[in-house]
């Protein structure tokens, strides 16, 4: 709300994901592929393999067209995109880490120059000198990963930076090394995966077979070390952060599953390519690349998803509000906005009149400044869909919005603002998917009542407070559910009907016995 | 209804080095960026002109393919040299630059698509420059037009970033970001000023092409020298008109800075114009005597002074535009002594390695090490 919010109709989050995934898929190739070029050139020269050298020369051209052109532009693309969608985060990052980027830029400059000279040098340079450029390329490319990895990992696990704001404390943060190792392995695998593409169009079957086998040496071991590296990575992520990926929040869980499956498929396909290496078809190599892209994309989605609700962990929320008040935050921390109100705080709102006639319009402004960095009205992560799914009417939306930070294991920041503003937000959201008060309490089977009202915060397991503590006497439970805030002060004040409460209490008991949770602790409410 | 102050607040992090360090880096890297861009855009425009005029024979076809082969290097040079000022402009002027970018978000985002298309176009032409198909000229034209439009979008964004008073109306008219800054009276003159400079400096680029061919093929090199040198002279003469229009299009208070209100700005303008005139004279003498040394060394040397003056003036102008909202003293400074020396050391090492790389390849006056064609 300090900066205007770019209203991307199909979803700002989707746009960032698109640019970022394409970029990482190419930029990791730029790193691993550099090593592939020089090592392969050494090998071909040692074996005096003119055919392999001939192919490698063509592969270099492909490499440059993909990495120097698309890789470099999509890298600038990330800058453009994050600045458009998360200007506050970008501003923080640039002030804290500009020297990191300046260092990366030095490597980048060397990298681009070396890549071009390596490409143009194929016909002009004596072998040793040509290889010299290749090694410089790889060294510079790898060092730029060494730098940028620090900043990316910092956003996920800011370590002690939030306390001391020291450059190196944030840089060498808890996930720095696992992330670097993980990305290195990915880079090496991608080197082989991309090389399959240029190998597949090779006419000479013998040569093709040799290259495909050589590629397998890059792909198979690298993919094989990914699971242990991934495990290391995950272990360095604080439990509460990772919890959201394991919880009911769909994004991270789904994509973690995708990532694993797609990686396995890539692995199998790489092995399959060894069956008839001399006859590998272009379509097959593209399939491998596509699956790998899917795996990489899923990995990025997981990383982004578990980082939520933050853009910079324990510091800045995805919607550009600071998680705690700090000097110089301009009044844009959750607490300050709670006290002052969104509308008076937001620099970019055209309609602030809480007493006026266009309440939905005011609510829309609030939605834009607080929610649109991740949600849309009815496209990507569209609220229309969620509201329809849960059948929330205006009053329920208002109640639920008071506890956003508890939903789905805490992937969302809390709503910041006054109660009246939360009410207007509900008015707006009710216009995008109008649900009547009657429809909101229409469900009478326990499962549906649970899904619509409880499932965003409660899970069906023995340790969940609902299953652990709610009394198993249906009548008493139905009575207790009348006043949720009395049960637990942070619960929303939902008004379930009598039949709903009874159905819910019975359903909970049924779950307990079906799943063997045992009875609630003595004195349970 | 906007809040009275539309300028976004700074973030809590202090500047990690004194203000002037970033200012210096911004101006220096911007000059490098703009010169690379001029080679690209001006060189491209002149190559197309040469090819088009060559329909009835002449050196144009050859010059076209010579320049076309350089485009896939000039574009990444422009981009890479653009990233550095992109970093530093965000460090100092993020509050303004982010906001104006968001106000014109879609056109700004489309720069990326345009860059990609232009880039692959240049590669297409360069890989094909041997065979003389009809398509190369067309593809090159499209790529050059894209580069021209990208420059125009940059001018839109930078002028918009300097006029916060315009933001709100534009933003609320379309929060989706389909905006430009076409209502800014100084926009077109300013951009034409850049474009005319690009053609002039593109002429200098051709003089370098002539230099590279001076020993090998004197006849061709002479023609390129004359063509490039004249392009430089005419474009720079035109600049006196375009620059004047630009000056007149500025708000009065800002214009007066260059007319004496600010001694520094006025001096820079005077030196800049004098440098331009001097460069024209040097070039004209060089063309008359076919003196490649004067054309490729002295004229650009004099011109460099003008470019430096202009870059500083551009910066003074920005700070004048922003004076109601921005001043250097607004920043807290906490120099990151644990990183800055590392950057400086790596920067120096990088420059040295870069020079070695260029020279070992036989560029920048180096001798190519033992050539041996490979299989
Ligand atoms: C072919 C592509 C490009 C062209 C023709 C171009 C042209 C220009 C022009 C004409 C300006 C000055 C605008 C004005 O002041 O009115 C400019 C400024 C700038 N350009 Fe580029 N540009 C190109 C690509 C890039 C890229 C890819 C980047 C970043 C990676 C970049 C970074 C910058 C920056 C940061 C400035 C402003 C510096 C400052 O305000 O001090 N440019 N460019």
Q: Is B366 on the interface with A (CB under 8 A)?
A: no
State the pLDDT at residue A524: 44
Q: Is the pLDDT of residue B371 over 60?
A: no
Residues of A in contact with B82 (CB under 8 A): 76
* β-sheet bridge partners, residue B15: B333
Average pLDDT score, chain A: 92
Distance CA A61, CA A213 (A): 21
State the pLDDT at residue B161: 98
Distance A181 CA to ligand 1 centre (A): 36
Q: Is A162 on the interface with B (CB under 8 A)?
A: no
Cβ proximity of B181 and B159 under 8 Å:
yes
**H or E segment at A316?**
strand A316-317
Q: pLDDT: is B5 or A70 the higher one?
A: A70
Contact check, Cβ <8 Å, A116/B338: no
Distance CA B341, CA A336 (A): 38
Comparing CA positions, the residue from A83, A100, A410 lying closest to residue A241 is A410
Instruction: Band the pLDDT of B374: cuts 50, 70, 90.
Output: very low
Q: What is the mean predicted confidence (pLDDT) over A173-185?
A: 96
- How large a percentage of chain A has pLDDT more than 70? 97
Q: How far is CA A163 from CA A217, A314, A497, B301, in A?
A: 45, 10, 48, 51
- Who contacts A63 (Cβ-Cβ below 8 Å, separation ≥6)? A29, A33, A37, A115, A119, A194
Domain boundaries, chain A: 12-317, 339-437, 446-515
Q: What is the three-class DSSP state of A264?
A: helix
Q: What is the mean predicted confidence (pLDDT) over A135-154?
A: 97
Cβ proximity of A121 and A113 under 8 Å:
no
Distance B154 CA to ligand 1 centre (A): 6
- Number of the ligand 1 atom closest to the C-alpha atom of B314: 15
Which of B1, B171, B343 lies at the smallest CB-CB distance from A4? Answer: B171
Contact check, Cβ <8 Å, B99/A124: no
State the pLDDT at residue A303: 84
Q: Is A497 on the interface with B (CB under 8 A)?
A: no
Distance A167 CA to ligand 1 centre (A): 29
With residues binned 3-state (H G I as helix, E B as strand, rest as coil), the percentages for chain B, rounded to 5, are: 80, 0, 20
Q: Is the pLDDT of residue B2 over 70?
A: no
Residue showing tokens 């604080």: A238
Q: Is B332 on the interface with A (CB under 8 A)?
A: yes
Q: Is the pLDDT of residue A10 over 50?
A: yes
Instruction: Band the pLDDT of A398: cuts 50, 70, 90.
Output: very high
Residues of B in contact with A132 (CB under 8 A): 360
State the pLDDT at residue A522: 47
Q: Is B229 in the pocket of ligand 1 (CB under 6 A)?
A: no
For A162, the closest chain B residue by CA position comes to B13
Cβ pairs bridging A and B (under 8 Å): 227
Q: Is the pLDDT of residue A241 over 80?
A: no
Atom 15 (ligand 1) nearest CA: B155
State the pLDDT at residue A464: 87
The minimum CA-CA distance between A513 and chain B, rounded to whole Å, is 53
State the pLDDT at residue B22: 98
Domain boundaries, chain B: 19-336+349-361
Q: Is B126 in the pocket of ligand 1 (CB under 6 A)?
A: no
Q: Report B:142-171 residues touching A (Cβ under 8 A).
A: 167-168, 171
State the pLDDT at residue B55: 67
Classify residue A277 by its DSSP letter: G
The minimum CA-CA distance between A326 and chain B, rounded to whole Å, is 8
Distance CA A192, CA A277 (A): 14
CATH superfamily of A339-437: Cytochrome c-like domain (1.10.760.10)
Instruction: Band the pLDDT of B264: cuts 50, 70, 90.
Output: very high
State the pLDDT at residue A306: 85
The minimum CA-CA distance between A77 and chain B, rounded to whole Å, is 6
Distance B150 CA to ligand 1 centre (A): 8
Q: What is the three-class DSSP state of A311?
A: strand
Distance CA B195, CA B193 (A): 5
Six token digits for residue A366: 């609030």
Distance CA A498, CA B104 (A): 53
Distance CA B235, CA A35 (A): 46
pLDDT digit string, tens, across residues B8-58: 999 999 999 999 999 999 999 999 999 999 999 999 999 999 998 876 567
Average pLDDT score, chain B: 94
Q: Is B151 in the pocket of ligand 1 (CB under 6 A)?
A: yes
> What is the number of other CB atoms lying within 10 angstroms of the CB of residue B248?
12
* β-sheet bridge partners, residue A376: A382
Distance CA B265, CA A406 (A): 58
Q: What is the three-class DSSP state of A442?
A: coil
State the pLDDT at residue B130: 59
> What is the number of other CB atoms lying within 10 angstroms of the CB of residue A231?
11
The minimum CA-CA distance between A1 and chain B, rounded to whole Å, is 9
The minimum CA-CA distance between A93 and chain B, rounded to whole Å, is 9
Cβ proximity of B23 and B31 under 8 Å:
no
Q: Is A83 on the interface with B (CB under 8 A)?
A: yes
Q: Is B5 on the interface with A (CB under 8 A)?
A: yes
Contact check, Cβ <8 Å, B16/A83: no
Window from A363-367, B2-6, B118-122 with minimum mean pLDDT: B2-6
Please state at what angle helix A176-200 crosses helix A250-272, rounded to 10 degrees: 40
A12-317: what CATH class? Answer: mainly alpha
Comparing CA positions, the residue from A382, A362, A484, A488 lying closest to residue A423 is A362
Residues of A in contact with B172 (CB under 8 A): 350
Comparing CA positions, the residue from B11, B276, B302 lying closest to residue A312 is B11
State the pLDDT at residue A523: 43
Q: Is B221 in the pocket of ligand 1 (CB under 6 A)?
A: no
pLDDT digit string, tens, across residues B173-229: 999 999 999 999 999 999 999 999 999 999 999 999 999 999 999 999 999 999 999
Distance B192 CA to ligand 1 centre (A): 14
Cβ proximity of A91 and B109 under 8 Å:
no
Residue B290's region, left for phi above 0, alpha for psi from -120 to 50, else beta, is left
Q: What is the mean predicted confidence (pLDDT) over A72-86?
A: 95
Atom 9 (ligand 1) nearest CA: B151
Six token digits for residue A164: 């001391």
State the pLDDT at residue A40: 98
Q: Is A164 on the interface with B (CB under 8 A)?
A: no
pLDDT digit string, tens, across residues A315-356: 999 999 999 999 999 999 999 999 999 999 999 988 888 988
State the pLDDT at residue B108: 98
Distance CA A214, CA B126 (A): 32
pLDDT digit string, tens, across residues A34-52: 999 999 999 999 999 999 9
Q: What is the three-class DSSP state of A463?
A: coil
Distance A358 CA to ligand 1 centre (A): 42
Atom 33 (ligand 1) nearest CA: B82
Atom 17 (ligand 1) nearest CA: B154
Classify residue B10 by its DSSP letter: P
* β-sheet bridge partners, residue A333: A322
Residues of B in contact with A9 (CB under 8 A): 176
Instruction: Band the pLDDT of A520: cuts 50, 70, 90.
Output: confident
Pairing status of strand A310-312 against strand A316-317: antiparallel
Distance CA A344, CA A341 (A): 6
Q: Is A248 on the interface with B (CB under 8 A)?
A: no
Atom 30 (ligand 1) nearest CA: B83
Distance B79 CA to ligand 1 centre (A): 9
Instruction: Band the pLDDT of A244: cuts 50, 70, 90.
Output: low
State the pLDDT at residue A245: 59
Distance CA A347, CA A368 (A): 12
Q: Is the pLDDT of residue B372 over 60?
A: no
Contact check, Cβ <8 Å, A95/B11: yes
Residue showing tokens 């290889």: A131
Window from A272-276, A476-480, B283-287, B367-371 with minimum mean pLDDT: B367-371
Distance CA B375, CA B336 (A): 51
Global pTM reads 0.94
Six token digits for residue B67: 């320049």
pLDDT digit string, tens, across residues B145-162: 999 999 999 999 999 999
């Amino acid at each position: 709300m300090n900066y205007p919010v770019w209203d991307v109709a199909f979803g700002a989050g989707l746009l960032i994901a698109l640019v970022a995934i394409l970029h990482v898929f190419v930029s990791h190739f730029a790193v691993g592929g550099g090593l592939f070029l020089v090592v392969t050139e050494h090998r071909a020269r040692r074996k005096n393999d003119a055919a392999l050298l001939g192919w490698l020369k063509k592969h270099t051209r492909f490499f440059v067209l993909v990495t120097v052109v698309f890789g470099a532009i999509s890298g600038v693309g990330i800058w453009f995109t994050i600045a458009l969608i998360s200007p506050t985060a970008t501003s923080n990052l640039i002030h804290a880490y500009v020297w990191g980027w300046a260092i990366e830029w030095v490597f980048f400059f060397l990298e681009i120059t070396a890549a071009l000279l390596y490409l143009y040098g194929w016909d002009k340079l004596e072998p040793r000198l040509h290889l010299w450029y290749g090694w410089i390329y790889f060294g510079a490319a790898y060092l730029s990963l060494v730098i940028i990895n620090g900043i990316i990992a910092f956003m996920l696990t800011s370590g002690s930076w939030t306390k001391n704001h020291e450059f190196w404390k944030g840089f060498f943060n808890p996930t720095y090394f696992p992330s670097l190792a993980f990305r290195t392995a990915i880079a090496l695998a991608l080197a082989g995966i991309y090389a399959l593409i240029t190998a597949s169009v090779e006419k000479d079957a013998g040569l093709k077979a040799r290259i495909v086998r050589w590629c397998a040496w890059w792909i198979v071991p690298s993919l094989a070390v990914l699971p242990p590296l991934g495990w290391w990575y995950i272990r360095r992520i604080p439990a509460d952060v990772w919890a959201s990926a394991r919880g009911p929040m769909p994004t991270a869980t789904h994509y973690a599953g995708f990532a694993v499956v797609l990686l396995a498929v890539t692995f199998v396909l790489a092995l399959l390519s060894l069956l008839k290496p001399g006859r590998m078809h272009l379509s097959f190599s593209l399939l491998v690349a596509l699956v790998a892209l899917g795996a990489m994309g899923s990995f990025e989605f997981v990383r982004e998803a578990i980082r939520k609700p933050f853009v910079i962990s324990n510091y800045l929320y995805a919607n550009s509000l600071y998680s705690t008040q700090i000097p110089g935050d301009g009044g844009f921390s959750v607490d300050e906005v709670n006290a002052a109100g969104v509308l008076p705080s937001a620099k970019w709102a055209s309609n602030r009149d809480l007493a006026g006639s266009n309440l939905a319009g005011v609510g829309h402004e609030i939605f834009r400044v607080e929610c649109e960095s991740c949600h849309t009205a009815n496209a990507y992560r569209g609220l229309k869909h969620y509201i329809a799914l849960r059948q929330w009417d205006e009053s329920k939306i208002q109640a639920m919005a008071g506890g956003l930070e508890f939903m789905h294991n805490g992937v969302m920041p809390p709503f910041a603002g006054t109660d009246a503003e939360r009410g207007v937000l509900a008015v707006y959201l009710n216009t995008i998917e109008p649900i009547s008060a009657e429809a909101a309490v229409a469900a009478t089977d326990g499962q549906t009542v649970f899904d619509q009202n409880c499932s965003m915060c409660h899970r069906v397991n023995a340790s969940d407070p609902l299953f652990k503590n709610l009394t198993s006497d249906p009548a008493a439970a139905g009575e207790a559910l009348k006043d949720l805030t009395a049960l637990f002060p942070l619960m929303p004040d939902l008004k379930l009907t009598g039949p709903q409460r009874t159905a819910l209490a019975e359903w909970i008991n049924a779950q307990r016995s079906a799943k063997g949770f045992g009875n609630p602790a003595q004195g349970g409410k | 209804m906007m809040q009275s102050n539309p300028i976004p607040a700074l973030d809590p992090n202090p500047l990690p080095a004194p203000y002037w360090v970033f200012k210096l880096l911004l101006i220096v890297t911007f000059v490098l960026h703009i010169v690379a861009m001029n080679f690209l855009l001006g060189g491209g425009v002149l190559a197309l002109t040469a090819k088009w005029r060559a329909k009835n024979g002449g050196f144009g076809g050859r010059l076209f393919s010579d320049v076309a082969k350089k485009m896939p290097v000039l574009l990444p040079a422009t981009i890479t040299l653009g990233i550095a000022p992109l970093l530093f402009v965000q460090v100092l002027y993020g509050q303004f630059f982010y906001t104006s970018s968001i106000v014109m978000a879609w056109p700004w985002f489309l720069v990326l698509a345009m860059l990609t298309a232009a880039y692959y176009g240049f590669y297409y032409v360069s890989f094909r420059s041997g065979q003389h198909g009809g398509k190369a000229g067309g593809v090159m034209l499209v790529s050059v037009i894209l580069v021209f439009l990208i420059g125009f979008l940059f001018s839109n964004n930078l002028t918009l970033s300097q006029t916060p008073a315009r933001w709100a109306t534009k933003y609320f008219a379309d929060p989706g970001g389909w905006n430009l800054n076409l209502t800014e009276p100084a926009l077109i003159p300013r951009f034409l000023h850049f474009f005319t400079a690009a053609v002039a400096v593109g002429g200098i680029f051709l003089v370098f092409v002539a230099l590279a061919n001076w020993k090998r093929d004197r006849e061709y090199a002479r023609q390129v020298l004359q063509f490039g040198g004249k392009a430089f002279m005419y474009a720079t003469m035109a600049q006196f008109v375009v620059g004047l229009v630009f000056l007149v299009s500025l708000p009065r208070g800002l214009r007066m800075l260059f007319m004496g209100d600010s001694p520094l700005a006025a001096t820079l303008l005077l030196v800049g114009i004098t440098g331009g005139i001097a460069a024209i004279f040097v070039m004209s003498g060089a063309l008359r005597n076919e003196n490649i040394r004067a054309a490729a060394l002295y004229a650009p040397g004099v011109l460099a002074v003008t470019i430096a003056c202009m870059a500083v003036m551009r910066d003074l102008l920005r700070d004048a535009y922003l004076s109601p909202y921005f001043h250097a003293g607004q920043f807290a400074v906490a120099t990151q002594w644990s990183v800055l020396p590392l950057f400086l050391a790596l920067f120096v090492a990088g420059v040295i390695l870069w020079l070695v790389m260029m020279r070992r390849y036989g560029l920048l006056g180096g001798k190519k090490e033992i050539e041996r064609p490979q299989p």
